[in-house]
Amino acid sequence: MAKQPLRLGVLVSGRGSNLQAIMDHARRGALDAQVAVVVSDVPDAYALERARRAGIPAVAVPRRDYAGKDEFNRAILDHLRSHEADLVVLAGYLRILSNELVDAYQGRIMNIHPSLIPAFCGKGMHGARVHQAALDYGVKVSGVTVHFVENDVDTGPIILQRAVPVEDDDTAETLAQRVLLQEHQVYSEAIQLFAEGRLKVEGRRVCILPA
């Protein structure tokens, strides 16, 4: 019997271009995975619309509907479990996961960040702020990082990184655009490596096993 594709539970807060790239790769057969459910803390996130259009279950879990962070995260966890997600993919998800959720999916949560971690990351570093910080610092190279998620922000073992040159006339917007093109490729590559069982975590290092 053919192996079942890896089931992804994707958490989003915004426009969902990374989600779109993952769905497109999966549909084209370039990724041995299927998006099982998309969950958003933002009910009108465009990412949910993208999922619905693709016929994928899309659920809004607004934070304000829950008394505390733990209850809110438990609701998300329930959706991930009921859709039998094997891997949780954070794709522009702006909230910090509860320890319970991280523990429940230990070693099975990925995030993407639009810089070369450990530069320009951590709490509050998201969106245009990341790219503006890179420009303000004057780095010549920025990029993208896909990493496993631990009980802290942007600190888990790094799976893949891609460098993106910074041009003299870059604005936060133009740099973000160029980094985003890389994001759309590298996230699916990381998920594919996970699907193939080729990611071996040794402390902070993630070794990529041969195919």
CB 133 within 8 A of CB 113: no
When asked if residue 16 is in the footprint of ligand GRF (CB under 6 A), the reply is: yes
The minimum distance between CB 29 and ligand GRF, in angstroms, equals 22
Q: Among residue numbers 125 through 184, which ones bind ligand GRF (CB under 6 A)?
A: 180, 183
The minimum distance between CB 57 and ligand GRF, in angstroms, equals 18
**Of 52 and 68, which has the nearer Cβ to ligand GRF?**
52
Q: In this structure, what are the phi and psi dihedrals at residue 121, rounded to the nearest 5 degrees?
A: -145, 180
Which H or E run contains 19?
helix 17-27
Q: Among residue numbers 41 through 70, which ones bind ligand GRF (CB under 6 A)?
A: 47
**Of 83 and 113, which has the nearer Cβ to ligand GRF?**
113
When asked if residue 17 is in the footprint of ligand GRF (CB under 6 A), the reply is: yes
Question: Rounded CA gap, 66 and 28, in Å?
Answer: 38
Question: Rounded CA gap, 195 and 160, in Å?
Answer: 15
CB atoms within 10 A of CB 121: 20
Two tokens at 183?
């994001």
Contact residues: ligand GRF, CB under 6 A: 14-18, 47, 91-92, 112-114, 180, 183
